[in-house]
Amino acid sequence: MINYISTRNSNISVKASEAVLRGQASDGGLFVPQNLEDLKIDYHRITNCDDFKSMAAAVWNLFLDDYGSGVITELVKKSYEGKFSSEKVTPLVKVNGAYVLELYHGPTSAFKDVALQALPNLLTKARSMNGVTDEIMILTATSGDTGSAALSGFSGVDGTSIVVFYPDGGISETQRLQMVTDAGKNTSACAIRGNFDDAQNGVKKIFREMPRPAEGISLSSANSINIGRLVPQIVYYFSAYRQLLDMGSIKDGDLVDFVVPTGNFGDIMAGFFARCMGLPVRRLVCASNKNDVLTEFINTGHYNRIREFHKTTSPSMDILISSNLERLLYYICGEENTASYMKQLEETGEYQISDAELKAIQDVFSAACATDAEGAAAIKDVFESENYLMDTHTSIAWSCLDKYERKEGVPSVVLSTASPYKFCASVLSALGLEVSDSDRKNMEVCHEYTKAEIPAGLADIWDKEILHNDLINPKEMMSYVVEKSMKSR
């Protein structure tokens, strides 16, 4: 059985279902499988599966072994059957010499759906497996896409409630409307006066200081700090490889590069786990926007969040504290150094890893960053040359294709994390079209000009009633959670 330990203290050890249930370790660390060797398999066990759901079952059975294979099969079916507009769930498309892995065909048109249609099922099953009678309150900080995907996934799920915090003015209007119109009786969305890091730090503080905000209420997380969020994301790396094989673009055993638009380091960390399992991955390329803290870290070993925060056209990547990087640090640096680095980050805002540690990271990861202007140019160039429309996050990753050392004969797969219709104003601007003050009008114009299909989940958000109007300061987050806890009892 795989043990999950804290990245900061291996004496904190739990089984998989407990790690999913808790979300975060009691010392502030993140749960990780203790030994990467336990994850190594013949990758054909997954790539030879018939479809995405059977691949998911194979991956989940490895990481979440205490659930049992019968339960896993049932939960996978419940998570994905009829939920995605593509039969492949995450289809791969060839675009101008590279490949785009479309991760946005779920209910909220973002890659988070792949995990957040699964997490509620994993968590509620973990609750019953571990004899927990408390209601589980999900706390989530979002830079845009996690919030709507989490609200969609947990809406109406028995034994749970969910509170999502998002930065006021720091997400697109479409993203905001997806959250504030959610009609679930157990859901809440609240804006904070600050940026994503303020929201994320506030959530982490609540977990540390107040794990039970009211009698009969326990906390868990839907952010990628929860291992139950991360495991489902591993699957689409294997699915991409299988699709490359089916296209005849690679031969079995050939290496592949993955270029990942990155903010909180969760999506690319899932790729690291896939590589550790045995998937033939050459490079994992961390693509950042102007908030280039990860680019600097992977290139120099210096992590420094003390820098200007930029609001960009790729808001889901506007992050200066990338929580999931802590998981990579554990495997590269060990628990003592990881705990020390995290303490330095909290107290001083920066840390420097050793040369040997940096080399170990650079053996697997490359990093590059791109500006809004470069992303916009990519949107325009790819649409005009290939009639393919990408969003502002995918375009950042696309812009980084020529900024890392590619190897001839090794295909590059760009992870596309959201529908372009979630960021219509920026997409229209990139195409050189007039932008309206109305996102609804922008969506209509975008459709008329590009003929790209509007996802069903976005087409009707303009007519829905706004149900969540709360706006608070970050210091008020704890009292807000207590108030919500009392009301949900």
Active site residues: 112
CA gap 259, 406 in Å, rounded: 11
Counting every residue written for the chain, the total comes to: 489
Which residues are within 8 A (CB) of 203 and not within 5 positions of it... i.e. 6 or more apart?
139, 140, 141, 165, 221, 223, 477
Residues 6+ apart with CB under 8 A from 441: none
DSSP string, 56-97: HHHHHHHHSTTS-HHHHHHHHHHHHTTT-SSTTSS-EEEETT
The helix or strand, by DSSP H or E, that contains position 338, with its residue range, turns out to be helix 335-348
Torsion sign (Cα): 119, 124, 126, 132: positive
Rounded Cα gap, residues 287 and 268, in angstroms: 10
Alpha-carbon gap, residue 188 to 167, rounded angstroms: 14
Amino acid identity at 331: Y
390, 374 contact by CB (below 8 A): no
User: DSSP class of residue 253?
Assistant: T
- Residue 487 CB neighbours (<10 A): 10
CB 384 within 8 A of CB 136: no
Q: How far is CA 375 from CA 261, 287, 379, in A?
A: 11, 11, 6
Alpha-helix residue ranges (DSSP H) falling in 210-319: 227-247, 266-277, 293-300
Closest CA to 483 of 133, 220, 206, 223: 206
Contact 287, 262 (CB under 8 A): yes
Beta bridge partners of 218: 136
H-helix or E-strand spanning residue 220: strand 217-221
